[in-house]
A and B are shown apart, each in its own frame.
Chain A
Amino acid sequence: MSHKDLVINMKKYYAALLIFYLSVGLHAAVAQAKRIITLGSAISETVNALGYGKYIVATDVTSVWPEEINRLPKVSRNRSFSVEAITAFRPDLVLVPEGDFSKENLYQFKSLGIRVVAIRQEFSVAGANKFIRQIAAAIGDKACGEQLAKQTTSRISYALSQLKKGNKLPKVLFIYARGVGTMNVAGKGSSIDAIIKLAGGKNAIQEFSDFKPYTTEALIKSNPDIILLFDFGLKSLGGKESFLNLPGVSYTNAGKNKRIVEMNGPLLINFSNRLPEAIKALNNKIYQ
């Protein structure tokens, strides 16, 4: 080996060393979260899909998928939680849907030195992409988020290209039910409105936004072709047969043709990594 070769080798060695140190340094700058609390089903599912499920230490009652996550303690119930109970898990990152923590709660976590990242969810294909990237950035692994976001986008494009279509967009009415007394229908701008559109249907309610209480007359007036419920919602009303017997249902196209459709709740409103599956499943049920 000549002297020149040795110098070149040395240079290569130092360059490699430099790159190694730089990458270590960069890694240290965005400390990767090791004890994560995920509140909200979509956030829990996304963290799992990013491969960080093993770092989750607690979740909320809505986080039921994937199956293993049910082993973890549920630290929040319908947005009622205690700051101290969350702190007791010594999390280094709390991921929460934007708006779920009050100003006071955010202030409390800040004074405890616990990092809380509020995740904004928009109900669209681009929104799913952003949702994944936000969570990956909060965890400290942007590259992984990039990968999952790209993969999800291409899977969404594929799902959309494979959609079954009819001559006319069927009108879908979504009813959120927790027993006969508490029934709400989904209006414009809601998560349900967005998924119905993506899956090749039309929301039967165009008069108002968000969720509003259900009335028999409004049901008859909107005359949906299909009535969509969460699986637990249909169960709370006593199943498909007793739903068909509710006042007014038999006057709608959906009632006449017995087109009552149920979907898994967390899947339907995931709007993240599982959006392609949700589109496909709902589309299949609308055009079955």
Chain B
Amino acid sequence: MRRLLIYTLLSAGLLVSICFSLALGAMRIPLKEVIDTLTDTMGFNLFGGTDHGINQSVIMMIRLPRTLMGILVGAALGISGAAIQGIFRNPLAEPSLVGISAGASLMAVLIIAFETLLFSSLSQLLGYYLLAFGAFAGAGITAMLVYNLSKVNGQANVSTMLLAGIAINAMAGALTGLVTYLADEQKLRSITFWMMGSLGGATWQNVGCLFPFVLVAVIGLPFLAKGLNLFSIGENQVELIGLNPNRIKIMVVVLATMAVGASVSVSGIIGFIGLLIPHLTRLIGGVDHRFVLPVSALMGAWVLTLADLVSRLIAQPIELPIGVVTALMGSPVFLYILIKDKKKLVN
């Protein structure tokens, strides 16, 4: 009953922020026109559906893709964060903390800097998807690396994992810095974009590129929820009921990194969503992964849409980097959770 309420409230919250995201922005567009444009596109004709020119284009070409990208990236970061925390059995394991985002962005930066030199044949083959695949590969390699480094006697050791994550973050940061040093000014600008994170470049094209990756993760990961629940008791519990723990791990890492990698490739690094959202989810509804995974996706989508709205509206006509907003919103909440659960975390 409580869970049903949570689902309903979150869906309603998401729906409301989608409406605000479509209705508000630097352009003042009357609400009626917004609704008219949307219904008109869907084939209904409520208010006569006249041509509104530039307003209509802004809604269809700027706001709608941007809102959709916020939903997809938020859902991807939220659910991946929850799943990765699940297999690492640690609440601090988050795509950016354990180095997955850094790996993805390092790969993206390398591709931007050396695209014409090294990746031209790959670029012809994959075209627009090259960056997404590269970021995915970077994310996957770092996730595997961190996981294997942190394994002690077949068990993932928490502190080793965090330290390995810090080391990999530092290394990826240094390599990114090196590439930045060598890159010319124009490439430097694209690289800065990755580091800051932004939804401002959303077009139908890159939303379409992101969609399948996120869809697979959002549908696939909840199927692994039962296995993840057993993981939290102990890896041998998974084997006891006849599931293969390694297969679950690999499935989670592949699905999560796919979603995170694709997100990073279109929006750059957006921190804190992957860390914070699963915590909030567990805070309101308990630790069952059958609940945590889908709700994290839902809440991630909602919070990121909201954060994007703030980043667009607070300093008009200039936009704040969305990473700044998520960190400002996220870190106090995270500190609160930390203080509240201090005792639990120590034990």
Q: Which residues of A contact B (CB under 8 A)?
A: 58, 73-77, 79-88, 90, 99-100, 102, 104-105, 107-108, 111-113, 210, 212
Whole-angstrom distance from the CB of A133 to the nearest CB of chain B?
A: 23
Which one, B63, B201, B206, B321, contacts A84 given CB within 8 A? B63
What's the A-B contact tally at a CB cutoff of 8 Å?
A: 79
CA distance A95 to B169 in the complex (A): 39
Report whether B54 and A112 are in contact in the complex, using a CB–CB cutoff of 8 Å.
yes
| CB-CB nearest in chain B for A103 | B201
Neighbouring A residues of B193 by C-beta, 8 Å = 102
Residue B310 at the chain A interface, CB threshold 8 Å: no
Interface centre among A58, A76, A83 (most CB of B within 10 A): A83
Residue B61 at the chain A interface, CB threshold 8 Å: yes
Neighbouring A residues of B190 by C-beta, 8 Å = 102
Chain-A contact segment, one of B80-88, B232-240, B312-320, B336-344: B312-320
Report whether B26 and A88 are in contact in the complex, using a CB–CB cutoff of 8 Å.
yes
CA distance A203 to B185 in the complex (A): 20
Neighbouring A residues of B186 by C-beta, 8 Å = 99
A102-B193, A102-B201, A111-B57 given as contacts; is B206 within 8 A of A82 (CB)? no
Neighbouring A residues of B206 by C-beta, 8 Å = 104
Report whether B61 and A108 are in contact in the complex, using a CB–CB cutoff of 8 Å.
yes
Report whether B201 and A105 are in contact in the complex, using a CB–CB cutoff of 8 Å.
yes
Neighbouring A residues of B49 by C-beta, 8 Å = none
| Ranked 3 nearest A-B pairs via Cβ | A85-B317, A104-B201, A85-B26
Report whether A81 and B319 are in contact in the complex, using a CB–CB cutoff of 8 Å.
yes
Whole-angstrom distance from the CB of A78 to the nearest CB of chain B?
A: 9
Residue B27 at the chain A interface, CB threshold 8 Å: yes
Report whether B189 and A80 are in contact in the complex, using a CB–CB cutoff of 8 Å.
no
A100-B189, A112-B57, A112-B58 given as contacts; is B317 within 8 A of A88 (CB)? yes
CA distance A58 to B316 in the complex (A): 13
Whole-angstrom distance from the CB of B327 to the nearest CB of chain A?
A: 17
CA distance A113 to B203 in the complex (A): 15
| CB-CB nearest in chain B for A75 | B317
Neighbouring A residues of B25 by C-beta, 8 Å = 84, 88
Extra inter-chain contacts (11) besides given A84-B62, A108-B201, CB under 8 Å:
A74-B318, A81-B318, A84-B26, A87-B62, A102-B189, A104-B203, A105-B201, A108-B203, A111-B57, A111-B61, A112-B58
B32-68: which have CB < 8 Å to A? 54, 57-58, 61-63
CA distance A111 to B57 in the complex (A): 7
Residue B205 at the chain A interface, CB threshold 8 Å: yes
CA distance A235 to B90 in the complex (A): 49
| CB-CB nearest in chain A for B202 | A104
| CB-CB nearest in chain A for B185 | A210
CA distance A80 to B199 in the complex (A): 12
Neighbouring A residues of B61 by C-beta, 8 Å = 108, 111-112
Neighbouring B residues of A76 by C-beta, 8 Å = 318
